[in-house]
Amino acid sequence: MTGDRNTTDATTTAPGGATGAPGGHVDVEAATAATGPGPALIRTAAALRALDRRGERAVVMTMGALHAGHAALIRAARDRVGPDGQVVVTVFVNPLQFGAGEDLDRYPRTLDADLLVAAQERADVVFAPSAEEVYPGGEPQVRISAGPMGERLEGASRPGHFDGMLTVVAKLLHLTAPDLALYGEKDAQQLALIRRMARDLNFPVRIAGVPTVREPDGLALSSRNRYLSGPERVTALALSRALAAGREAGTAAAAGTEPAAGKPAPAGDRAPSATPGAPVPVPAPEPSTVPVADPDAVRSAARAVLDEAAERQPPLVTDYLALVGPSDFTEVPADHRGEAVLAVAARVGTTRLIDNIRLQFGATR
């Protein structure tokens, strides 16, 4: 379920950095007057069931502390169901997703700001149940198992996380009864597992992915980004640089040319904290129809950027770099054709970040 650990303040990023507050954060009081009446706030499953339903219903599941990435999901939901449909945003901090060393009590609860973001993106309902409402008998004795895919990559780093995520997603799908559920592609493994669960267990819902929202310098948007110091942020840009380098190497292999040397981003795309001469990436694009080739070259080019960043101060500590199939998250072979996900996770200081892009090996049919 979409959410970021270690967020502590009560502000939220507005789409496009609106409202004029410093750093692109929402000034809640100023913006409330501009948005007018907001979505209905519902706390119980009974009240949600009693709600009049019109058109198609889309749900966006969050753990609150909404930022521009969440806003993009809500906006996409409204676009999908149209003005006559219904958009439900869930705000629930799921205790089952917090493992050892992840402090549930410190996770931010910013419901007033979340309601503002939901209003700005024309959501109809915010469903914000308590833990007792979602788990009336305490922690559930029967849970969803993520299976082998849930033990790879993110699952290996955070054991049990995906079991807790799928369990609450299943619960919320039952409680909200949507026709459509939307999730961010930044959490690619999560999205793949939700799609697999819906298919394997015959959930009557369509699952849709929404492209990753990026900051101007290419860093994937996350509420964790605010914890990066200036030097740490420069190091963290290696994630998107690595993905871009892998994509460029694959494109060059498909065209039979050499990849170009790393090019700096246009001046307008530089991170405010970047030091002069520091490498700043062109933001990694959404999947294109341009085919790539040679998975080994893709991995090698991406790995070279991460290795270079490991020598920086502060250093990048890579958790994993993987080129995997989008349906099972196993590594693709050297002769792979079709879609693949180039995924990376790394830590800078105390902040752990993830990112990915999708690549098409061989021409699309």
How much is the pLDDT for 267?
29
How much is the pLDDT for 47?
96
Enter the DSSP assignment of 44: S
Residues (pLDDT < 70) of the chain are: 1-36, 97-108, 260-289, 365
The dihedral through the CA atoms of 198, 203, 206, 212 has a sign that is negative
Provide the b/e sequence for 107-117 (b: ≥16 CB within 10 Å).
Answer: bbebbebbbbb
How much is the pLDDT for 186?
94
d(C-alpha 17, C-alpha 44), whole Å:
32
How much is the pLDDT for 37?
72
Question: Partners of 359 in the beta sheet?
Answer: 340
How much is the pLDDT for 84?
96
- Residue 46: Cβ within 10 Å count: 9
Place of tokens 């009560």: 10
- DSSP letter for each residue of 260-320: PPP-PPPGGGS-TTPPTT---PPPPPPP-S--B--HHHHHHHHHHHHHHHHTSSSPEEEEE
Would you state the structure tokens that stand for residue 216, as one six-digit string? 């101007």
Place of tokens 């991460």: 306
Q: Which residue type sits at 37?
A: P
Would you state the structure tokens that stand for residue 59, as one six-digit string? 């749900």
d(C-alpha 241, C-alpha 362), whole Å:
23
Q: What is the pTM of this model?
A: 0.81
How much is the pLDDT for 289?
56
CA distances in angstroms from 269 to 59, 71, 75, 273, 302, listed in the order given:
33, 22, 24, 12, 21
User: Pick from 159, 216, 152: which is nearest to 188 by CA?
Assistant: 152
How much is the pLDDT for 100?
60
How much is the pLDDT for 226?
79
d(C-alpha 85, C-alpha 359), whole Å:
33
User: Pick from 288, 292, 188, 279: which is nearest to 250 by CA?
Assistant: 292
Catalytic residues: 70
